[in-house]
Structure 1
């Protein structure tokens, strides 16, 4: 039972830390982020297993983590408030061609990130070509290009 409690506690803690770190970090992983994930994984493994490295304990923890994940997915479907709290809401970065620098700062997204998404999605070259940009809850940036006259 101790393993189940540790598993649920670590899951909740990692979920909270990931949520607080923001969506940008999930969408645009850098080599630093990869190293950080490896360190967190090792630390988490030690916290989850404690002194019990048995196969049974590992299986119990894996089943516990998947069960918590499935339970949260059902809970989010049942409660839009919980889904909003856990996943957040999309953040409008550009609206009607105007950049919201406050939103960019809060989301830790740079103008270069916007331009990269615009180039990749629509082949746009400048910010003037963008009508709207939204940081989605998945961490990706959606770009809506301006309508071409004519």
Structure 2
């Protein structure tokens, strides 16, 4: 009975957490603020706290706690979306660490960052010299956004006056030696088309291919099996 109750709580708790997090919206880990991290920890704690209680009534207590916490977070999320004044208080705001190539020492100190930490964050962005940096923002998630000086920026096709080549998102057409029907459907093709095109690429047996993708702009990318 104890093991059944434990499994039941895990299933119900997981379902409740999924529902709440789905209602609160999608975020990548890189977009998660300290506030988001805290509410996620509390949600998990509400399940964990009731997990090993023997009474079945704790299931309802757990669901009630998750529901109330989810409603409170939902209210906070909606409030921050609509109120420009409350958003920086509840969610924080981006800090300008470098402005026009000059380090904002006061903001750096306020963010409790040392120069070596800032340099480390810049290196993760592929920037190795402060001479290349124009502006740096410390986002609420703890990551940085970097604007390089014009001399350090990668030239664009538009800047060079050159027409950019066409590009599109490739679709998987072969996966582990089998036709990927969803990919073929997305590009409006079928297995006969796939066989014909692969034959033109010198592929006679589909089993010889581990992976293949197709795009109108770049054609095929084909990875053969190791033993083929």
What's the TM-score bracket when you normalise by the shorter of the two chains? 0.5 to 0.7
Give the total of aligned pairs.
Answer: 108
Unaligned runs of 5+ in 2: 1-32, 156-228
Task: Between the two structures, name the one with larger relative contact order (CA 8 Å, sep ≥ 6).
Answer: 1
User: CA–CA distance in 2 between the matches of 1:58 and 1:119?
Assistant: 44
Match of 2:67 in 1: 63
Q: Are 2:94 and 2:137, in contact at CA under 8 Å, matched by a contact in 1? A: yes
CA displacement at 1:70 relative to structure 2: 0.9
Matches within 5 A, 1:1-150: 26=34, 54-121=58-125, 123-148=126-151
User: CA–CA distance in 2 between the matches of 1:64 and 1:92?
Assistant: 36
User: CA–CA distance in 1 between the matches of 2:141 and 2:134?
Assistant: 21
Unaligned runs of 5+ in 1: 1-24, 27-36
Alpha-carbon RMSD across the aligned residues, in angstroms, is 2.9
Other structure's SS at 1:148 match: helix
Runs of 4+ in 1 over 6 A off after TM superposition: none
> Which entry has the higher C-alpha Rg, 1 or 2?
2
Q: Which structure carries more strand by proportion?
A: 2
Match of 1:21 in 2: none
Q: TM-score, normalised by structure 1?
A: 0.61
Other structure's SS at 1:60 match: helix
Q: TM-score, normalised by structure 2?
A: 0.41
